[in-house]
Amino acid sequence: MGVLGKLLDAIAELTRRIDEEVERGYDLSRWGDAMKFLHALQVQAQALIDMVQRAAAALGHAPSTYTDAAASLLKVGVIDEEDFRFFRAVVGFRNIVVHEYLAVDMKIVDHILREREYRSVLLLAEKVYLKLRERGVDP
């Protein structure tokens, strides 16, 4: 299995585990719950970012930023405008968690968990993986 396949598997596993933890219930005012979900969402986001960068590289693009990588996938039709906007939101969320951790709005985290928006990361990862396979790139 190639790197993109391993990243897809990791994203699927993270999504499954986040689902399990959300189903158990959570209280983001508790430090342990907050840290658990922030870390899981950060790792899930980073795996998607890595996947998009590697997909762009596999298609012959050398992006200088995460957004450039997604823009190259948009340009060649691997993702659409909605996917591109969602990816940028994932990157923004990840950047806040990593670089501006004191500014994380836990209401947004609660919304992501309550509405199961983290599942969209897996859907986008699957789409990128399948589109590359369709193009004869063995991810």
pLDDT for position 139: 58
pLDDT for position 102: 76
Written as tens digits, the pLDDT of the chain (139 aa) is: 589 999 999 999 999 999 999 999 999 999 999 999 999 999 999 999 999 999 999 999 988 899 999 999 999 999 999 999 999 999 999 999 999 877 899 999 999 999 999 999 999 999 999 999 998 886 5
Cβ–Cβ < 8 Å for 83, 120: no
Query: DSSP alpha helices (H): ranges in 1-139?
Result: 3-24, 31-58, 66-75, 81-99, 106-114, 119-134
pLDDT for position 64: 87
Domains of the chain: 3-134 (1.20.120.580)
